[in-house]
Amino acid sequence: MLKPPTTENALIDRRGILRTGAALAAVGPALLHGEHAKAQPRSASPMTIIDAQVHAYAANTPERPWHSVPNWPPHVTGDEMVAAMNKVGVDGAIYVSPFSMYEYDSSYAVGVQKAHPDKFALVKPVNPDDPAVADVITDWKKTPGTVGIRVIMSRESKRAPDDPGFDRILRAAVRNDFPVNVLFTGNIDAGTALIDRHPDVRFVIDHLGIQQPSVPPAPPQPWAELPKVLDLAKRKNAVIKVTGACTLSKEPYPFPDIWDPLARVFDAWGIERCLWGTDWTRAFAVVNYEQGVEPFLKTNRLSDSDRATLMGGACAKAYGWSPKKA
């Protein structure tokens, strides 16, 4: 699946990037590119590149207040996200409405997609405590640009696999032919049980199913739960997002130590069930947007056909959507 490893040049020192993080956050779109802010846009790629998870959001204001304030930039608007994608040749993205800021309100995401219909497809979190959640999902299906829904099953949520709210959501997802993004990092056993309980649901597992740091450094054993992730591959009703993988690296950019564990993921799941993405802006404090993209474009550990599948083809198949290339 992957080519044998070779030594890759360390192009950017992550410590240097992080020391300037606060300053970058104040300068708007330039923060998306770090030291390469003045680089020319990448020439068109023959493959269609789709980022399987990005978040965009407006500034925290009384008119549109945030539910919580994570360690993300003060704003990454839809226009700013598109500029970042264009700079490194990403053709489109699955835009997941950010739960941290907006919880179950997807109105900002809808507005961004309307402004950039060729760039974004939409996924929104849905509320298992809402008795009318099935109607919410049906209405979401009618909204232009929508391709899925999301449920959050973190350990903090204290929700069991047989939670009645999950049952309502997943039945409605099947009726509306929606894939279900599921976040269960730090709670992988319960997430596995949820997938097993609903074999007719198409699941998209967020972020490799592995707890990822929101600030550096990577944990001492970032891939400790990899065996469970490999076992999850037996569930044929699931695909897995290879999103945020660079945040698990213990080495500087271009993060060469991610490739051996990722090779095991690709071998277990099959490259056609693996969806590359950045998880930007959640990953902001660890990597900038360019750093989340370039290692996958430049590595010699992937063949051209596997790169095209990982960085776009698998995502297009999972969601039934592909952006229009410029």
pLDDT tens, position by position, 242-269: 999 999 999 999 999 999 999 999 999 9
Return the SS3 of 152: strand
Pick out the chain residues at pLDDT < 70: 1-44, 326
Q: How far from the centroid of its chain's Cα atoms is residue 315's Cα?
A: 11
The rounded distance, in Å, linking the Cα atoms of 117 and 324 is 9
Q: What pLDDT shows up at residue 45?
A: 74
pTM score over 0.85: yes
Structural contact between residues 244 and 279, judged by C-beta atoms closer than 8 angstroms: yes
Q: What pLDDT shows up at residue 146?
A: 98
Report the run of H or E that residue 25 belongs to, with start and end: helix 21-25
The rounded distance, in Å, linking the Cα atoms of 104 and 305 is 37
- Closest by Cα among 102, 104, 105 to 61: 102
For tokens 């192009």, what's the residue? 11
Q: What pLDDT shows up at residue 1?
A: 58
- Tokens (6 digits) for 162: 């047989």
Return the SS3 of 148: strand
The rounded distance, in Å, linking the Cα atoms of 272 and 80 is 30
